[in-house]
Structure 1
């Protein structure tokens, strides 16, 4: 079972905007470019890069996506902070 992961994310306030960003990604837009443009999280300045973190370090909804869903595929998840588009780079 994975204990650490490295992920990127884009944080926005509204579901409609998050869904639009996912559509842009599916059309070939670069994740890091969209993170710099739209993300409300300070990590947006780094292309949404959260770096490596341990399981249990993030809020439960976010953690569940990072440690159970497919890697590389963008996933949409709602937390108390807003809507996240999450891209898991790897897990170990």
Structure 2
């Protein structure tokens, strides 16, 4: 089972915006550009890059998605106490 992962995410306050961003991604929009424009997380300035992190380092719902979803395919929206996330897992190892 994977112990580490690297992911991008876009964090927004409203589910409607998260759904709209997810649809844009499905239509081929650039994840990093959307993250820079819309994400309220400090990682947005880096195109949503969260870097590599260990399993258990993120809030449980986020962690569950990262360590179980298909790679590269944007996932979401996932609601946590921080807002709504669109997640793109780059790799797990």
Output the TM-score relative to the length of structure 2.
0.98
Structure 2 SS opposite 1:50:
strand
Q: Hey, which bits of structure 1, 4+ residues long, moved more than 4 A?
A: none
Query: What is the CA distance between 1:14 and its match in structure 2?
Result: 0.7
2:37: which partner in 1?
37
Output the TM-score relative to the length of structure 1.
0.99
Query: Aligned partners of 1:71, 1:30: CA distance in 2, in Å?
Result: 16
Query: Aligned partners of 1:21, 1:70: CA distance in 2, in Å?
Result: 18
Where does structure 1 lack aligned partners over 5 or more consecutive residues?
none
2:68: which partner in 1?
68
1:54: which partner in 2?
54
Report the aligned-residue RMSD.
Answer: 0.4
Structure 2 SS opposite 1:11:
strand
Query: Aligned partners of 2:23, 2:81: CA distance in 1, in Å?
Result: 23
Query: What is the CA distance between 1:78 and its match in structure 2?
Result: 0.8
Where does structure 2 lack aligned partners over 5 or more consecutive residues?
none
Aligned residue pair count? 92
